[in-house]
Structure 1
Amino acid sequence: MKPGSKWRYAAVAAALLSTAALAKDGPVAPNGRHYLSQPLVTSIYTADPSAHVFNGKIYIYPSHDIKTNIPDDDLGSQYAMRDYRVLEMDHVGGKVTVGPVALDVDQVPWAAKQMWAPDAAYKNGTYYLYFPARDHQGIFRIGVATSKNPMGPFKADPKPIPGAYSIDPAVFTDSDGKSYMYFGGIWGGQLQRWVTGKYNPHGSATDLHQDDKPALTAKVAMLAPDMQHLAEKPRDVVILGKDGKPVTGGEHDKRFFEASWMFKRDGKYYFTYSTGDTHFLAYAIGDNPYGPFHYKGHFLLPVQGWTTHQSIVKHNGKWWLFYADTQLSNKNSLRNVKVTQLHFNPDGTIQTIDPFTH
């Protein structure tokens, strides 16, 4: 999570935000344009929204950003989140309810700090909250907690999920009832330290630095019926370029960085992700949950802030993209969740969204 050296608006952001006037199109952004969407909530900072439809309502499981004096660094030390709060709404555009604390780091025996981007799932009357956190050795693990209420509170399993590691768990349940977990993130997410399947504390701090080799990519594994364990050894989520070869580490505008999210439409599997230091949301399409997936392009251009993290759901006959930016704070580690409609072309490709309007 690199802070601001490549962030296109940082040089003028503070001054512009402090004097921004409300125009008829809404607040003026630091780049002089207007935001496409407005924050869903302003009482707390939220990011990394994982949206799901349960019982006809939309529930959003975001990170809960908090203020900190920790300096920004490439490994994301400034992202010091410690708990989760769930957002609920009947429909997009309706009232958003902010739930109480659903899970706190002090309630997770194995976790020490940094409760980053979570996800959720439902099966047989139980809601599952999947979350990454650093353990007491500083290693990112992925845990799971359960509840009978989609808003929580959730009770964490005493140990992390065996075989799962790094960050950004995303659980997809297919039409046949089988569920799959996608996970991983490079740089601060430590995926580059798991190349052999075991954690290497002396591995690269960011990535493999092999621009001509296949890029590090997300992992996927089927979940066991209890939804609390992996049913198999994780495998690579292979993303192929137009040449039919895996996207390389040097293709920073295409390669996986973090923020896996899977959805299915018209029999096709859409693997979406963030390119991180190039600030795009990208996607690739495959014929099954494991892939391989064929790279198709970007569907969200850079937002205000270092990067974003997405989820995509269908509700009331429309597809919705949930994402985040830094409109409220102008600080990379204090973000706000937003939503906008997602549109598809006749061939199934996604129309690119600009997070700003003229």
Structure 2
Amino acid sequence: MMKKIILSICISSLTLSGFSQKVTEPKTSGNPLFEGWYADPEGAIFGKEYWIYPTFSAKYEEQIFMDAFSSKDLVNWTKHANVLTKDNIKWANKAMWAPSITKKGNKYYLFFGANDIQNNKELGGIGVAVSNKPSGPFKDHIGKPLIDAFHNGAQPIDQYVFKDKDGQYYLFYGGWSHCNVVKLSDDFKSILPFPDGTTYKEVTPKGYVEGAFMFIRKGKYYFMWSEGGWTGPNYSVAYAMADSPLGPFKRIDRILKQDPSIATGAGHNSVIQNPKTGEYYIIYHRRPLGETNGNHRVTCIEKMEFDENGLIKPVIITFEGIAASPIK
């Protein structure tokens, strides 16, 4: 009898252990990717790790820091708190938005918007911070905004740093339905003129509102942006294709939008590619169903695919997210 009891206990223990293992090892990422109110997510790959740098989604006066998240497989994420704070950016006092990161040499450079300036008399705009590690801490690179005024009607927010095939770095940015591109100096401390003498070149496509992003695939430049109002259900992502990073960009289609049965306001995206498998993923934010607080936005991910002509297929938003995709 005693042997039967002991055997029963052992079997039960093994069964519970197996059950526990299944619960703690998710098969997919799930959406949202991690807890907390986060928006405007930019994905990046450093070495064999994925990183996401989002905006902390709260009242403007509470947006005085930025967190980051890292993962080896796009499913399990580690939070890195306060990679950038206003304590290291003396001119910033609120509305720290839409981080964009790049690695150059042994340094990591984080571009960000701050203060939500409404005119050229206010202090703020787009800054750049630097760190020796992707987890920070990031400190002010030039001690003032890199772009501190309106040019071509573009509010200096929602920046994206882009490295072209020839090694030249550009910064795409702009709110208020205007998008500019500028050439960055090698040290990221200033803006250089284009060959035609212009400094701020407008590249606004039809329908553009904010949230510029770019990537290259098979020699084509894919330019993406957000349309609609950021607090509304119709916030979405559209794109264009061109043979040059300067365009011209003719709108092709909307490829990311709400699903009233899953979430609303799906927009402000970035794109990453697993360098080993070649698979593409779109990272974006959306608003949970029934949410009335405009700041309640969460970061999500889906697989992104192309048709035989290189056009982006419509993205289906899900609760499941994606399967693990380690960089091996």
TM-score by length of 2: 0.76
**Is the contact between residue 116 and residue 133 of structure 1 (CA under 8 Å) also seen in structure 2?**
yes
Q: Mind listing any 5+ residue stretches in structure 2 that lack a counterpart?
A: 1-28, 151-155, 194-198, 320-328
CA deviations 1:107-139 (Å, max 9, x no partner) are 211112111111111101110010001179655
Which amino acid in the other structure matches residue 337 of structure 1? Answer: T
Aligned to 2:31: 38
**Is the contact between residue 324 and residue 335 of structure 1 (CA under 8 Å) also seen in structure 2?**
yes
TM-score by length of 1: 0.70
Q: Cα 1:65–1:312, aligned 2, differ >3 Å: closer, same or farther?
A: same
Candidates 274, 281, 300, aligned match of 2:237: 281
Aligned to 2:272: 313
Candidates 3, 24, 40, aligned match of 1:48: 40
Q: Cα 1:257–1:140, aligned 2, differ >3 Å: closer, same or farther?
A: farther
Aligned to 2:25: none
Q: Aligned pair 1:271/2:255, yes or no? A: no
Q: Aligned pair 1:148/2:132, yes or no? A: yes
Aligned to 2:146: 161
Q: Cα 1:352–1:97, aligned 2, differ >3 Å: closer, same or farther?
A: same
**Is the contact between residue 182 and residue 218 of structure 1 (CA under 8 Å) also seen in structure 2?**
yes
Q: Aligned pair 1:84/2:66, yes or no? A: yes
Distance in 1 of aligned mates of 2:85 and 2:41: 17
SS of corresponding position for 1:106:
helix
CA displacement at 1:229 relative to structure 2:
2.1
SS of corresponding position for 1:291:
coil
Distance in 1 of aligned mates of 2:67 and 2:90: 19
Distance in 2 of aligned mates of 1:147 and 1:222: 22
Matches within 5 A, 1:1-358: 38-42=31-35, 44-66=36-58, 68=59, 80-93=62-75, 95-134=76-115, 138=122, 140-157=124-141, 158-162=143-147, 166-186=156-176, 216-232=177-193, 233-239=199-205, 247=206, 255-277=207-229, 278-302=234-258, 304-306=263-265, 308-315=267-274, 316=276, 317-327=278-288, 330=291, 331-356=293-318
State the percentage of identical aligned residues.
31
SS of corresponding position for 2:252:
strand
CA displacement at 1:100 relative to structure 2:
2.1
**Is the contact between residue 237 and residue 290 of structure 1 (CA under 8 Å) also seen in structure 2?**
yes
CA displacement at 1:356 relative to structure 2:
4.8
CA displacement at 1:334 relative to structure 2:
2.2
Distance in 2 of aligned mates of 1:151 and 1:226: 21
